[in-house]
Amino acid sequence: MSYRTLLLTVGVLSVLAACDTITEDQCQAGNWRAIGFADGAAGRAPDMINTHARTCANVGVTPNVAAWNAGREEGLRQYCTPQNAYRIGANGTTLAPYCPAGQREALNRANRTGIQYYEIGIEISELTEKSRELNRQINSIPASAPQDQQLYKFELARERSRAEDRLRDLRRQRVQYEAF
Q: Along the 180 residues of the chain, how does pLDDT read in single tens digits?
A: 444 443 433 343 333 334 457 999 999 999 999 999 999 999 999 999 999 999 999 999 999 999 999 999 999 999 999 999 999 999 999 999 999 999 999 999 999 999 999 999 999 999 999 999 999 999 999 999 999 999 999 999 999 999 999 999 999 999 999 876
DSSP state letters, 13-34: HHHHHHT----HHHHHHT-HHH
Alpha-carbon 126 to chain mean position: 17
Contact 99, 44 (CB under 8 A): no
pLDDT for 9 equals 36
Number of H helices, E strands in the chain: 8, 0
Residue 5 is predicted with a pLDDT of 41
Q: Following CA atoms 46, 51, 57, 59 in sequence, which dihedral angle do they give, to the nearest 10 degrees?
A: -110
Return d(Cα 36, Cα 73) in angstroms, integer.
8
Q: Does residue 29 contact residue 61 with C-beta atoms inside 8 Å?
A: no
pLDDT at residue number 57? 95
The confidence score (pLDDT) of residue 151 equals 96
The whole-number pLDDT of residue 120 equals 97
Residue 150 vs residues 133, 134, 154, 156, 178: alpha-carbon distances, Å: 17, 14, 6, 10, 42
CB-based contacts of 41-47 (< 8 A; 24+ apart in sequence): 41/75, 41/76, 41/78, 41/79, 42/18, 42/75, 42/79, 43/76, 43/79, 43/88, 43/95, 43/96, 43/98, 44/18, 44/19, 44/72, 44/96, 44/98, 45/96, 45/98, 46/72, 46/98
What pLDDT sits at residue 21? 78
Residues 61, 63, 66: CA angle, nearest 5 degrees: 155
Q: What is the pLDDT of residue 180?
A: 67
E-only strand ranges, the chain: none
For the chain, the first-to-last Cα distance in angstroms comes to 32
pTM for the model: 0.77
